[in-house]
Structure 1
Amino acid sequence: MSKTDDAPGLPSSHDMAMRSQLSLLVAAFLSMGCGDDARTSSWTYGSVEAGADRSGDHDLDQQQDDALDASSSDAVADVTKDGVTSDIEEPPPYDGPTLYPTGRTHSPLTPFVADRLRDVVAKNPTHHKDRFLKIGDSITVSPSFLYCFADAKVDLGEYAELQDTLEAFASNKVEGKNSFARTSTAAMGGKTASWAMSGKPSPVESEMEVMQAAAAVVMFGTNDIGWFADDHVKTLRWYSAAMFDLVDKLMGAGVVPILSTIPPRDDNPSHDDWVSLFNGVIRGMAQGRQVPLVDYHRELMPLSSHGLSGDGVHPNAMSGNACVLTDTGLAYGYNVRNAITLQALDRIRRSVFDSETAPDEAVELGGQGTITAPFVITDTVFADVRSTLQATNHGLDVYDCSAANESGPEFVYRLEVQETKRLRAVVLTRGDVDVDLHLLGQSVGTSGCLARGDTLVEQQLAKGTYHLVVDTFVRDGQALAGEYLLAVELR
């Protein structure tokens, strides 16, 4: 082994440098200041909003460059004979923002996430930690959802550890009813996320004012998904903007939102074909704000008829009691939602409100989003939220699949396809932000562009390496950079 080789069984110098770079960058982002808006107080985006003066961009770039320079010079100890050094230490476990991978019902509740949620709650310390809001459509307003936890017919089955949480939220009443039994003004049949945020005050604002709760259970999407018939791209733009506004409103007011994926739409094959991507968008919102996500869709899929009633839309319930959480009860859709919602409330009560140790480890996103080190997509449903205001790449300007001026900053993602798959990817923004999505092959450059979309890219992919680039459109010399949500589905 030469002196430049890494010792077997030890972390490579490259790995240590990359970990140090990431730690320094996260620290730099955390130090950029906080505001009341969830977009500006986020660990991801710093204090620059979409459409704001970008005169400070150079300072941000310089902070990042300084962090990278420091990591390259300080991260690795001096190397001695055969590349082995006596004072190399294992890098600390990663504890930054976490990915929300598929394959689990509850998103990771890590120390980083718990600290962030405590910061949210601290915005309004008078809020009651034993109350929660119910926000949603008919699947939330239904008497089969949570109401039965307010009476004596509960059978927790193997979930006896949830008893303390059940009692805690049952004990605090507003207008004579606790959070389980309350009929929420922010939950109504046939409604959408846009409805919840409309009016002065909006239904969400009215319910927040009455309840003064520190948490909210939120699920919209079942009605939204067909709002513009089969124009699902238009629907996604409309839905995501309203949902993000809702989430940011709650967080800005000191309320922890618990988001949920939506059930299948077995009544309508066209709508159901888009449920997975809608759920990817919901996952992205939760991950982007590092708030809890409950994957209700995942829990329904193995059940008979997907746990849905005869209309193929609404969950079914065990006859007489949706709060029986035994094996028999958990064959029904509402019983399952009641169980996993109570679990989600239990997780934040313990690890956020009561400051117990967070139970989960962080899942790190690989890469840096650059041309030479793209972010790595490792899941068949992937989501990411960030701002091109903080991208360091400016090298891809005009692609050969479009004449549009994309000379603003961009982020790059790499995708390894092991067998033929259908790609469906969307990039969603709010306000004046204008970023576009480009599908490239193995090489990253302005030539060889396979597809481009303002919002949507769909393409059949053979086995191979591909790249997605989220690039900023420039109009009249102004780069319309800002926050975006990328959701990717492979099927």
Structure 2
Amino acid sequence: MTRWIIGPVAALAVGCAQGAPLDGDTSGTLGTTAATAMPTSTEPTTTSGTTTETGGTTTTSTSDGETLSSETDDTATTTTGEPTVLGEYYPFDEIHSPITADVAASLAAIKAKGAKTDGVFAKVGGSSTASTNFMHCLADAMQVMELPAELQPTVDFFNATAAGMGATSFSRVSAAAMAGWGGADVLAGMPSPLANEVTAISPRFALVLLGTAELEVPPPEGVFTFADNLTAVVDALIAGGTIPVLSTMPTRTMPAGIDVYVPRYNAFVRALAQGRKIPLIDLNLVLAGLPGSGLAADGIDLSVALGGDMVTPTPCAFGFAGITSGYNRRNLVTLEALARVKPVVVDGAAPPDASAPTLLGAGTLAEPIVIPGLPFADMRSTADSPSDEIDAYAGACMSMGEDGPEFVYELEIAEATKIRALVFDQGNVDVDLHLMTLADAGTCVKRADRELEGPLQPGTYYIVVDTLGTATPGEFGLVVLPEA
């Protein structure tokens, strides 16, 4: 089945190593090389690595607004040979994430963790997942209209196996989905609703959409709490042999202004799916092109097509008129996702995608991971990093020791862009964000524990995720977003 491609991703282009400070930066300079940086009491400590400097004039701003120019060396030190291929990533402009041989191997490994019923899936989430407009109608052939023929075998397969008393996976009322629930609710109690649902129906797959409830938690805590809970849900499912199929959340228009936070949540969903190598449905992308972004009049729930009486919901009407409604389209793309993953996991079929985009770079100063475009999401572990070159930063970032391993990312900005970068860690892991204007710890212009934001001028920047002090290295998610 073909993955749909919709809309452009913000383009990045090669530029000089230059920039302007993020708003709110009150110390340090930008774009200075090790030779031109202002003296500091603590020099950055490196053990190896190459500093790359690009020729030309670098324009910088000091904290009092004075504009400075400094000449940089026209000769650049670069690495030779083929770039390191770090692994596949999930592009932001496709509805369904790639299922390649690499992802298929991950799915097989999850399947091997526990005996489950192949013809059963669970539903995990809040209001739109608990709604009878989500998937229930697929249990009744009389309610299904104009279903694409290639999806009928998937409907038949999951309707052939009971999921509890008198229901299939489509029509079951899930113990792990309820109106108003967020991740904390799904995990609450001993046993939790999630554990109860898995015990009751032993699902091979789980459709997971969370985050709408957490959106109402005041920022910035909401997105970090959401990330912790979603990770716990996904890892609990994986540990038992259930394959999560994640979904990004729709936008929200009520209360007013809340929609600005949705991309931050969805980018983490992508990072987690990519890091765990599990399927992702970009529901937000699907619904963005529908009238009202696929939302009902309340700005929260999804819209649904109505029958001829203009009263009866028809969420399984898949003709042209039907799929302009939110629930109808969600039901369709969810079926597509199941149709992509079931043959691979259950039947041992070849994965539907021969290849996927790959990240290039090793994550070191000499060979940073190249961010291919904004928005960007990644997940990896500093425990696996090949680099422990930077133990301290100069400039605006000299106050904290970063003695543990790090990953270095290269970001090229083609035109003035406001960015927001967030890093997510858990437990004893403590990693921080650093923004540099050269691949040199002496050019650090901003540091943050979890989140940094502000405008960047065209040029090349380096984002470093570094382990704080003697903290335990470990897994992190990195999200970099363009913002208006």
The TM-score with structure 2 as length reference comes to 0.79
How far is 1:97 from its partner? 4.2
1:266-323 deviation digits (Å, cap 9, x = unpaired): 1134321111111000000000000000000001111111110011111100013101
Q: Among residues 386, 393, 396, which one is paired with 1:392 in the alignment? A: 386
2:300 to 291, 309, 313: 313
After TM superposition, which residue ranges in structure 1, 4 or more long, deviate above 6 angstroms? none
Q: Which residue of 2 aligns with 1:345?
A: 338
Provide Cα deviations, 1:452-475, integer angstroms capped at 9, x if missing partner: 11000102011111110000101x
Q: What amino acid maps onto 1:449 in structure 2?
A: C
8 Å CA contact retained: 2:144, 2:316: yes
C-alpha distance in 2, partners of 1:141/1:307?
17
Residue 448 (structure 1) shift: 2.0
Worse-superposed segment, 340-349 or 253-262:
340-349
1:299 equivalenced with 2:286 (yes/no): yes
Structure 1: distance between partners of 2:145 and 2:368 = 46
SS at match of 2:88: coil
CA distance in 1, matches of 2:154, 2:96: 17
More helix per residue: 1 or 2?
A: 1
* Greater RCO, 1 or 2 (C-alpha within 8 Å, sep 6+): 2
Q: Does the CA contact (< 8 Å) of 2:362 and 2:386 recur in 1?
A: no
> 2:377 matched to which residue of 1?
383
Superposed CA offset, 1:1-22 (max 9, x none): xxxxxxxxxxxxxxxxxxxxxx
User: What's the counterpart of residue 370 of structure 1?
Assistant: 364
The residue type equivalent to 1:270 in the other structure is: G
- Indicate the SS of the match to 2:453: strand
CA distance in structure 2 between the aligned counterparts of 1:223 and 1:331, rounded to whole angstroms: 25
**Gapped regions of structure 1 (runs ≥ 5):** 1-90
Q: 1:318 to 1:350 in 2, by over 3 A?
A: same
Q: In structure 2, how many angstroms separate the alpha carbons of the residues matched to 1:156 and 1:445?
A: 60
Question: Does 2:482 correspond to 1:490?
Answer: yes
Q: Could you tell me how far 1:480 is from its partner in structure 2?
A: 2.6
Q: Which residue of 2 aligns with 1:191?
A: 181
Q: Which residue of 2 aligns with 1:286?
A: 273
Q: 1:413 to 1:302 in 2, by over 3 A?
A: same
Aligned equivalents of 1:153, 1:329: Cα separation in 2: 16
Distance (Å, rounded) in 2 between the aligned partners of 1:182 and 1:197: 20
1:32 paired residue number: none
Local SS of the residue matching 2:340 = helix
- Paired residue type of 2:146: G
What secondary structure sits across from 1:450 in the alignment? Answer: strand
Match of 1:180 among 167, 170, 180: 170
Partner of 1:201: 191
- Matched-pair identity in %: 37
Whether the aligned pair in 2 keeps the contact of 1:224 and 1:239 (CA below 8 Å) is: yes
Find the counterpart in structure 2 of residue 273 from structure 1: 260
Contact 1:225 1:235 in 2 (8 A): yes
Q: Following TM superposition, by how much is the alpha carbon of 1:379 offset from its aligned partner in structure 2, in angstroms? A: 2.2
Question: What RMSD in Å do the two structures reach over aligned CA positions?
Answer: 1.4
Q: Name which of 406, 411, 415 aligns with 2:407.
A: 411
Select 2:132's aligned residue among 143, 166, 177.
143
Map 1:66-145 → 2, pairs under 5 A: 97-125=87-115, 127-145=116-134
For 1:431, give the aligned amino acid: G
Aligned AA (2:182): T
Are residues 1:423 and 2:415 paired? no
Where does residue 436 of structure 2 map in the other structure? 440
Q: Report if the CA contact (8 A) 2:123-2:176 is conserved.
A: yes
Q: 2:371, 2:411 within 8 Å by CA — same for their partners in 1? A: yes
Provide the secondary structure at the position in 1 that maps to 2:359.
coil
Query: What is the rounded CA distance, in whole Å, between the counterparts of 1:291 and 1:172 in structure 2?
Result: 23
Q: TM-score, normalised by structure 1?
A: 0.77
> How far off its partner does 1:158 sit?
5.9
Give structure 2 stretches of 5+ with no counterpart. 1-81, 307-312
Checking the alignment, whether the CA contact within 8 Å between 1:155 and 1:326 is kept in structure 2 is: no
2:428–2:471 Cα contact (<8 Å) kept: no
Q: What secondary structure is seen at the aligned counterpart in 2 of 1:102?
A: coil
Q: Which residue of 2 aligns with 1:333?
A: 326
- Do the aligned partners of 2:368 and 2:409 also contact (CA within 8 Å) in 1? yes
Q: Rate the CA distance shift 1:279–1:338 in 2: closer, same or farther, 3 A.
A: same
One-letter amino acid of the structure 1 residue matched with residue 209 of structure 2? M
* Contact 2:392–2:400 (8 Å) recurs in 1: yes
Deviations 1:215-267 (A, max 9, x none): 0000001111122x2x2x21122111111011000000000000000000111
Kindly indicate whether the alpha-carbon contact (under 8 Å) linking 2:421 and 2:479 is maintained by their aligned counterparts in 1: yes
Matching of residue 354 in structure 1 with residue 347 in structure 2: yes
| 1:447 alignment partner, SS class | helix
Where do 1:243-254 residues align within 5 Å? Answer: 243-254=230-241
User: Could you tell me how far 1:154 is from its partner in structure 2?
Assistant: 4.1
Q: Retained in 2: the 8 A contact 1:97–1:112?
A: no
Separation in structure 2 between the aligned mates of residue 431 and residue 455 of structure 1, nearest angstrom? 14
Distance 1:158 1:150 in 2: 13
